[in-house]
Amino acid sequence: MLAEGIFIYLAAAITILSVLVITRKNPVHSVITMLVLFFHIAALYVTLNAEFLAAVQVIVYAGAILVLFLFVILLLNLKEEAVARRYVGPWPLGLMAAVGLFLAIIVSLDSFVAGPKGAFTTEVIKAETNTKALGKILFTEYLYPFEVVSIVLLVAIIGAIVLAKKRLRS
């Protein structure tokens, strides 16, 4: 009962906060709302026995990515100016597209049957802790992608510097 109660609170909070994120006029308000949202998602991960990801969610998403957003907003002091062309004409059309997609996913949920079970039952994870179980797979089976992700970060560093650097006037 307690578990259900916690889930319902988290789900309600996540839904409301995510709607708030996309409806705020001022991007700074959106970022702050998103910060609260990310903490709730981290709590949701804890209810799913994913403590390590909960920590990563707070540290990377809330700590790094959102701070980056805030920095850029402050740096550029942009509120209304940062506009791009909308991809789907008027906004009600966009809303309809999103709701249509949602209905497609929800309808297909009816036919959902979970795939075959793996070896990491709650007991196994409890015995060796979530982080250790994750680390074991990450550093054996997924070692190469783990290394390759460092290249994604390298690309991002170089790309961001190349693009945001001040122009040299010769």
Partner 1 sequence: MIPLHWYLWLSAVVFMVGVAGFLMRRNIIIMFMSIELMLNAVNISLVSFSRYLDDMRGQILVFFIIAVAAAEAAIGLGIIIALFRNKVTAHVDEANEMKG
Partner 2 sequence: MTLNDLAPLIPLMVIAVSSVIIMLGIAFYRSRAFSGLLTLAGIAVAFITLFGVQGTRQVTSLLILDDYALFYIGLILAASFVVALLSSDYLEGRRENIEEFYILLLLSTLGSSVLAASTHFVSFFIGLEILSVSLYALIAYTRNELNIEAGVKYLVLAAASSAFLLFGIALLYGETGTMEFSRMSSGISAQGINKGMLLTGFALVLTGVGFKLAVAPFHMWTPDVYEGAPAPVTAFVATVSKGGVFALLLRYFIQVDMHAYPSLFGAVAFIAVASMFAGNLLALLQKNIKRILAYSSIAHLGYLLVAFLAGGVMRVTAVTFYLVAYFITTLGAFGVVTMLSGKERDADAVEDYQGLFRHRPWLALIFSAMLFSLAGIPLTAGFIGKFYIVAAGAGSALWLLVIMLVINSAIGLYYYLRIIVVLYAQPGHSEVSAVSSLPLTGSLVLVLLTVLLLWLGVYPEPLIEMIHRMTMRF
Contact residues for partner 2, defined by CB under 8 A: 84, 87, 104-105, 107-118, 140-145, 148-149, 151-152, 154-156, 158-163, 167-168, 170
Report if residue 4 touches partner 1, rule: CB under 8 A. Answer: yes
Q: Is 44 in the site for partner 1 (CB under 8 A)?
A: yes
* Reduced 3-state DSSP string for 2-61: HHHHHHHHHHHHHHHHHHHHHHCCCHHHHHHHHHHHHHHHHHHHHHCCCHHHHHHHHHHH
- Which of residues 116, 144, 147, 168 is near partner 1 by CB under 8 A? 116
Q: Which of residues 59-88 bind partner 1 (CB under 8 A)?
A: 60-61, 64-65, 68-69, 71-73, 75-76, 78, 80, 82-88
Q: What are phi and psi of 77, to 5 degrees?
A: 50, 50
CA-to-CA distance for 10 and 39, rounded, in angstroms?
Answer: 10
The torsion of the CA quartet 118, 46, 101, 80, rounded to 10 degrees, works out to: -140
CB-neighbour burial class of residue 72 (10 A; exposed 0-12, middle 13-18, buried 19+): middle
CB of 2 to partner 2, least distance (A): 26
Cβ closest to partner 2, residue 64 vs residue 109: 109
2 contacts which partner out of partner 1, partner 2, none, CB within 5 to 8 A by kind? none
Question: Which residue's CB is nearer to partner 1, number 98 or number 127?
Answer: 98
